[in-house]
Structure 1
Amino acid sequence: MSGLHILLVEDEPHIARGLIFNLEEEGYRVSHAASGEQALEMVWDKPFALVILDVALPGIDGIEVCRRIREEDPRQPVLMLTARSEERDRVEGLSAGADDYLTKPFSLDEFLLRVKGMLRRSEWYRPEAHGEGMFTFGENAVDLQHRRAVTLQGEIDLTELEVKMLRAFFRSEGKMLSRAELLEAVWGMAPDTETRTLDNFLVRMRKYFEADPANPVHFLTVRGRGYRFVRSPGAQ
Structure 2
Amino acid sequence: MRKILVVEDEDAIREVIALNLRMAGYDVAEAASAERALELLGAEQDGFDVALLDVMLPGMNGFSLCETIRRDSAEVGIIILSAKTQEKDKINGLSIGADDYITKPFSVSELLARVEALCRRVTRQATEKQGESRLVSGQFVLDQKSRVLYKNGQPIDLTQVEFQIMELFFQNPGVALVRDKILEGVWGKNYYGDVKIVDVNIRRLRMKIEDEPSSPAHIATVWGYGYRWKP
Tell me the TM-score normalised to structure 2 length.
Answer: 0.52
Query: How much is the aligned-residue C-alpha RMSD, in angstroms?
Result: 4.6
Within 5 Å, which residues of 2 pair with 1:27-46?
35=54, 38=62, 42=66
Tell whether 2:133 aligns with 1:135: no
Tell whether 2:70 aligns with 1:69: no
CA 10–226 in structure 1, closer or farther in 2 if over 3 Å, else same:
closer
SS in 1 for 2:128: coil
CA distance in 1, matches of 2:179, 2:43: 46
Cα displacement string for residues 95-144 of structure 1 (whole angstroms, at most 9, x for unaligned residues)? xxxxxxxxxxxxxxxxxxxxxxxxxxx8x992226662153544x54323
CA distance in 1, matches of 2:176, 2:209: 19
- Checking the alignment, whether the CA contact within 8 Å between 1:35 and 1:60 is kept in structure 2 is no
CA 125–227 in structure 1, closer or farther in 2 if over 3 Å, else same:
closer
Partner of 2:173: 173
CA distance in 2, matches of 1:190, 1:10: 25
CA distance in 2, matches of 1:183, 1:137: 25
Shift of 1:35: 2.5
Partner of 1:145: 145
Unpaired runs of 5+ residues, structure 2, are: 10-30, 57-61, 79-103
- Checking the alignment, whether the CA contact within 8 Å between 1:221 and 1:227 is kept in structure 2 is yes
CA 142–7 in structure 1, closer or farther in 2 if over 3 Å, else same:
farther
Cα displacement string for residues 122-180 of structure 1 (whole angstroms, at most 9, x for unaligned residues)? 8x992226662153544x5432332123459x744322222221111001111211222
Identity of aligned residues (%): 23
Counterpart code for 2:74: P
CA distance in 1, matches of 2:180, 2:77: 31
Counterpart code for 2:133: E
Tell whether 2:47 aligns with 1:47: no
- Checking the alignment, whether the CA contact within 8 Å between 1:220 and 1:228 is kept in structure 2 is yes
Cα displacement string for residues 204-223 of structure 1 (whole angstroms, at most 9, x for unaligned residues)? 11011000000000000111
Partner of 2:200: 200
Counterpart code for 1:135: V
> How many residues of Structure 1 are paired with residues of Structure 2 in the alignment?
168
Counterpart code for 2:220: L
CA distance in 2, matches of 1:200, 1:171: 21
CA distance in 1, matches of 2:194, 2:178: 14
CA distance in 1, matches of 2:116, 2:158: 18
CA 175–214 in structure 1, closer or farther in 2 if over 3 Å, else same:
same
Unpaired runs of 5+ residues, structure 1, are: 1-5, 52-58, 77-121, 232-236
CA distance in 2, matches of 1:171, 1:42: 30
- Checking the alignment, whether the CA contact within 8 Å between 2:221 and 2:228 is kept in structure 1 is yes
SS in 1 for 2:224: coil
SS in 1 for 2:228: strand
Q: Which has the larger radius of gyration?
A: 1
Partner of 1:115: none
SS in 1 for 2:161: helix
CA distance in 2, matches of 1:126, 1:209: 24
CA 19–220 in structure 1, closer or farther in 2 if over 3 Å, else same:
closer
Tell me the TM-score normalised to structure 1 length.
Answer: 0.51
